[in-house]
Structure 1
Amino acid sequence: MSDTPINLEALRQRIDQLDGDIVRLISERASCAQQVAHVKLAEDENAIFYRPEREAQVLRRIMALNEGPLDAEEMARLFREIMSACLALEKPIKVAYLGPEGTFTQQAALKHFGDSAVSLPMAAIDEVFREVEAGAVNYGVVPVENSTEGVVNHTLDTFIDSSIRICGEVVLRIHHHLLVSENTRRDKITRIYSHPQSFGQCRKWLDAHFPHAERVPVSSNAEAAKLVKTEWHSAAIAGDMAAKLYGLAHIAEKIEDRPDNSTRFLIIGSDDVPMCGEDKTSVVVAMRNQPGTLHDLLEPFHRHGIDLTRIETRPSRTGVWNYVFFIDFKGHRDEPGVAAMLEEVSQQALELRVLGSYPQGVL
Structure 2
Amino acid sequence: MSDSSGAEEQQLLKLRDKIDSLDLDIQKLISERARCAQEVAEVKMKSSHAENVVFYRPEREAQVLTRVMERNEGPLANEDMARLFREIMSACLALEQPLKVAYLGPEGTFTQQAALKHFGSRVITRPMPAIDEVFREVEAGAVNYGVVPIENSTEGVVNHTLDSFLSSNVFISGEVELRIHQHLMIGPNTRLDNITRVYSHQQSLAQCRKWLDAHMPLAERVAVSSNSEAAKRVHSEWNSAAIAGSMAAELYDLQLVYEKIEDHPDNSTRFLIVGKNRSKPSGRDKTSIIVSMKNEPGALYSLLKPFDDHEIDMTRLETRPSSHGNWTYVFFIDFIGHMEDDNVQAAMRDIREKAVEIKELGSYPEAVL
TM range (shorter): over 0.9
1:285 aligned residue: 291
Deviation at 1:204?
1.0
For 1:4, the aligned partner's letter is: E
In 1, the alpha carbon distance for the partners of 2:220 and 2:180 equals 23
Deviation at 1:230?
2.2
Deviation at 1:250?
1.4
1:9 aligned residue: 13
Deviation at 1:55?
0.3
Quick check: 265-274 or 306-315, which moved more? Answer: 306-315
Q: What TM-score do you get using the length of structure 2 for normalisation? A: 0.97
Match of 1:23 among 24, 27, 30: 27
In 1, the alpha carbon distance for the partners of 2:100 and 2:280 equals 21
Pair 1:262 & 2:268 matched? yes
In 1, the alpha carbon distance for the partners of 2:72 and 2:34 equals 21
Unaligned runs of 5+ in 1: none
2:171 aligned residue: 165
Match of 1:84 among 86, 90, 93: 90
Pair 1:225 & 2:231 matched? yes
Q: Secondary structure at the match of 1:183?
A: coil
Q: What TM-score do you get using the length of structure 1 for normalisation? A: 0.98
1:359 aligned residue: 365
Cα distance per residue 1:268-298 (max 9 Å; x no partner) = 0001001010000000111122222221111
For 1:221, the aligned partner's letter is: N
Cα distance per residue 1:137-160 (max 9 Å; x no partner) = 000000000001000010001100
Pair 1:62 & 2:64 matched? no
For 2:123, the aligned partner's letter is: A
Cα distance per residue 1:162-215 (max 9 Å; x no partner) = 011000000000000011101112112111111111111111111111122211
In 2, the alpha carbon distance for the partners of 1:287 and 1:262 equals 32
Cα distance per residue 1:287-330 (max 9 Å; x no partner) = 12222222111110011000011111111122222111111000
Cα distance per residue 1:83-132 (max 9 Å; x no partner) = 00000000000000011110000000000000001111111101110100
For 2:43, the aligned partner's letter is: V
In 2, the alpha carbon distance for the partners of 1:179 and 1:52 equals 36
In 1, the alpha carbon distance for the partners of 2:108 and 2:31 equals 31
Matches within 5 A, 1:90-239: 90-239=96-245
Give the percent of matched residue pairs that are identical in Structure 1 and Structure 2.
66
In 2, the alpha carbon distance for the partners of 1:178 and 1:71 equals 29
Deviation at 1:51?
0.3
In 1, the alpha carbon distance for the partners of 2:356 and 2:209 equals 40
Quick check: 25-34 or 64-73, which moved more? Answer: 64-73
Cα distance per residue 1:25-74 (max 9 Å; x no partner) = 00000001000000000001121000000000111111112111111111
Pair 1:72 & 2:72 matched? no
Cα distance per residue 1:319-363 (max 9 Å; x no partner) = 222111111000000111101101111221111111000000000
Match of 1:38 among 29, 39, 42: 42
Deviation at 1:3?
2.9
Q: Secondary structure at the match of 2:87?
A: helix
Quick check: 181-190 or 53-62, which moved more? Answer: 181-190
How large is the RMSD of aligned CA atoms in angstroms? 0.9
For 2:16, the aligned partner's letter is: R
- Structure 1 stretches of 4+ moved >6 Å: none
Quick check: 192-201 or 95-104, which moved more? Answer: 192-201
Q: How many pairs align?
A: 363
Matches within 5 A, 1:312-323: 312-323=318-329
Deviation at 1:229?
1.4
Quick check: 184-193 or 154-163, which moved more? Answer: 184-193
Quick check: 206-215 or 298-307, which moved more? Answer: 206-215
In 2, the alpha carbon distance for the partners of 1:285 and 1:232 equals 51
In 2, the alpha carbon distance for the partners of 1:301 and 1:344 equals 9
Unaligned runs of 5+ in 2: none
In 1, the alpha carbon distance for the partners of 2:196 and 2:324 equals 45
In 2, the alpha carbon distance for the partners of 1:189 and 1:4 equals 53
In 1, the alpha carbon distance for the partners of 2:295 and 2:233 equals 47
For 1:300, the aligned partner's letter is: P
In 2, the alpha carbon distance for the partners of 1:120 and 1:129 equals 13
Deviation at 1:22?
0.3
Q: Secondary structure at the match of 1:274?
A: coil
Deviation at 1:231?
1.6
In 1, the alpha carbon distance for the partners of 2:221 and 2:350 equals 49
Q: Secondary structure at the match of 1:289?
A: coil
In 1, the alpha carbon distance for the partners of 2:234 and 2:244 equals 11
For 2:122, the aligned partner's letter is: S
Quick check: 136-145 or 208-217, which moved more? Answer: 208-217
